[in-house]
Amino acid sequence: MLKKSTLLILALIAVVPLLASCGGGGATTIKIGLDVPMTGDIAYVGTQSKRAGEMITEDINSAGGLDVGGKKYDIELVVEDNESKAESATAAATKLITQDQVLAIVGPQSSKQAVPTGEVANENETPMVSPWSTNPNTTLDRPWVFRACFLDPFQGPVVANFATNEFGFTKAAVLYDVASDYPKGLAEFFQKAWEELHGAGSVVAFESFTTGDTDFSAQLTKIKGSGAEFLFTPQYYNEVPLIVKQARELGLDFAIVGSDSWGDPKTLELCGDACEGLYFSTHYAAEGATGATKEFIDRYNEAYGEVPGDVAALTWDGMRLVLQAIQNTGGLSGDLAKDREAVKDELGKIKDFDGITGQMTFTPEGDPIKCAVIVKISDGKFTFYDQACP
């Protein structure tokens, strides 16, 4: 991890490339980094993110560039594979900042990668927007780090309230990955919210596993004997089908509720009929979307033959937030450090931003105030069911 003194030396060595890469002095290109998992456990998250980033980049460049203070700039998207690993994500960010000299970074997506990468971006004073990381620590005490999604302290109560109001349940079970920031944090926020509603001990089973595990029979057997009325599992598309199918094989025929990590087309593909009728909280619902959201969905579907998951839509919004902040600077100077600071400052000022995943205004901590939706898996589609707002 590079410190400011190191960056100063690098900046002095690379003055000419800086002036040529973005800003004034006749430069015509702005570099934006995309730190995403193109390989590893959740590689399809990276595929969707890259597609969305490329779509908006192509739109801008084909229209003549991004207008910043009366000057047009092409956008160059620099994609780095973080391999679905925390250490690779921080290395990717360091490369984007020091070698590629990007103006800003979009990503990482998963909290497991975004939390440590946020530290790199903050220490090296480069604006970062995570589209999908809901863990509070991503932006905590990091003025250079932002996100395009709601937070888990909000999502946990959303799920708890939904399961209470929709089904009248009073006893919950939780199954989560203890080695990953996102599911671990969300499981704890859900437990806290549930026990505030139903009393201490009303989460009757709080079972965990470790990233990469594929056999959940021991945990599910404990859950079966716990008296739980439903299961909350905030896991990813590669784990949800295994958990749901193994639960059914063990005779657990109760409701299974998920979180925004379910909102990937691969969840539908891999889970099939086993997930039919289940619910999860997330950022947007593709089925029944209107306006700009529907336009994005239709374009993506036409280009790639599938409905985009929430991570694609959030990446679109994350890119747009960065581009809006760049335009709001009123002009780039050609001094990368000054331009990065200007973009960071403008990101913090954004209000009433109309994203395709909802309207958002940033708090001083770099977090958007926005609504969550409840999605029902119905006829093999993600269908809007309900909405919860701050």
Whether this prediction's pTM lies above 0.75 is answered by yes
CA–CA distance, 242 with 245 (Å, rounded to integer): 5
At 287 the pLDDT is 87
Helices (H), 329-381: 336-349
Hey, what CATH topology would domain 152-282 get?
Rossmann fold (3.40.50)
* Structural domain boundaries in the chain: 4-149+291-370, 152-282
Q: Respond yes or no on whether the N-terminal peptide bond of residue 108 is cis (omega within 30° of 0).
A: yes
Pairing mode of beta strands 372-378, 279-282: antiparallel
Q: What pLDDT is stored for residue 336 in this prediction? A: 97
Residues forming a β-bridge with 330: none
Q: What is the pLDDT of residue 366?
A: 94
H or E stretch at 6: helix 4-13
Instruction: Give Cα 368 to chain centroid, integer Å.
Output: 12
Q: What is the pLDDT of residue 184?
A: 96
Say which amino acid occupies 116. Answer: P
Q: What is the pLDDT of residue 16?
A: 34
The ranges of the chain with pLDDT < 70 are: 1-27
- Give residue 288's pLDDT: 85
* Residue 206, beta-bridge partner list: 174
Tokens of 258: 């998920």
What is the residue type of 112? K
Determine whether domain 4-149+291-370 maps to CATH 3.40.50.2300: yes
Of 89, 124, 73, 48, nearest to 318 by C-alpha is 48
Kindly report, residue by residue over 156-215, the tens digit of the pLDDT.
999 999 999 999 999 999 999 999 999 999 999 999 999 999 999 999 999 999 999 999
Say if 4-149+291-370 and 152-282 have the same CATH topology.
Answer: yes
Alpha carbons 222 and 344: distance in angstroms, whole number: 48
Contact partners, residue 108, CB within 8 Å, separation at least 6: 35, 36, 37, 82, 89, 114, 117, 130, 133
CA distance 302 to 217: 40
Q: How far, in Å, CA of 200 to CA of 178, rounded?
A: 21
CA angle 45, 98, 140 (to 5 degrees): 60
The two structure tokens encoding residue 218? 């021991």
Q: In what order do the strands lie in the sheet with 381-388?
A: 203-209, 172-177, 230-232, 255-258, 279-282, 372-378, 381-388
